[in-house]
Amino acid sequence: MSIRHYNPRRRRRGGISPKARNFLGALVALIILLQISYPLIEGESLRIVTIATVLVAALAMVVHGHLSYGIKYSSRYLPITFAFGLGIEVLGVHTGWPFGVYEYDTSLGVQLFGVPLVVPFAWVMMVHPCLCAARRIAGNWVFLYGGAILAAWDLFLDALMVGAGRWTWEVDGAHAPFTPDIPMSNPFGWLLAGMFITGLLNKVLPRERRKEGASLRAVDAYLLWTLFGGFVGNLFFFDRPGLALFATAVMGGLLTPYFFSSWLGSKE
């Protein structure tokens, strides 16, 4: 008879260092604090918070991508997504396709070809979490699922920014649900553009995670806060109760399979 010494199996992947985890957590917390302050301030402070929120969120998502998938991911994700965001916005401003006819206000800062440079960073801050969610559950339909989440998120974003005067639309015909100042072409344009960039990144970005990488908790927190913040903001602060219910139902319905998988499964 022999007694065997039991060694528990080591986890296939370890987590990131406490320092990196705290830095990423601080960035996500700062995003939330900035967005909480949004309906409570106005004027120049509001303008600064708007720009800062986008830049901090973009940084957080690039950092998460780097900590999760490595330098090949982050060094490709940032320039590709920024270039696409700038290019599609320049096309939209000057041709009206695919979003409709719109114009940016100068309050968003330095512009290039009529597009504020902060705007492509808004693409950077949101495409990564949508791609992570789509890769987890959508199989061969990553482009469609990721694009749909982006389009749903923009239901919140565009109404918020139009209400603040950051850009204006020409509405000639059908308008987006519960937002008469935004044309119906905009959500369709976002779906089309979102499918393209999500599908492209799914092809060119690595899927294999770092041996010691960040979990999806930062992505979960950011997506959940985006959904919750959009609902609360439109219902209680921005006087758009119809949009609060509609956009939350659309985005929440899309994200439910991801959250179900993420919370019940392992945090890969």
Domain boundaries, the chain: 18-208+215-264
Give the strand pairing for 102-104 and 167-169: antiparallel
φ, ψ dihedrals at 9, nearest 5°: -65, 135
pLDDT of residue 209: 84
9: which 2 tokens?
């199996």
- The radius of gyration computed from the CA coordinates of the chain, to the nearest angstrom, equals 20
Residue 173 tokens read as 């015909």
Query: Which residues of the chain carry a pLDDT beneath 50?
Result: 1-12, 267-268
Task: Give pLDDT, residue 265.
Answer: 67
Query: What token pair was written down for 258?
Result: 């991801």
The values of phi and psi at residue 179, to 5°, are -135, 85
Residue 211 is predicted with a pLDDT of 77
Chain segment 73-103, per-residue pLDDT in tens: 999 999 999 999 999 999 999 999 999 999 9
Under 8 Å between Cβ of 189 and 91: no
Chain center to CA of 64 = 13
SS (H, E, C) 109-138: CCEECCEECHHHHHHHHHHHHHHHHHHHHC
Mention every residue, 6+ apart, whose C-beta is less than 8 A from residue 172: 183
Helix (H) or strand (E) holding 253: helix 241-264
Question: In whole angstroms, what is the distance from residue 178 CA to residue 244 CA?
Answer: 9
- Tens-digit pLDDT profile for residues 153-173: 999 999 999 999 999 999 999
- Provide DSSP, 192-223: HHHHHHHHHHHHHS--SPPTB---SHHHHHHH
Cα(66)–Cα(23) distance, rounded to whole angstroms? 13
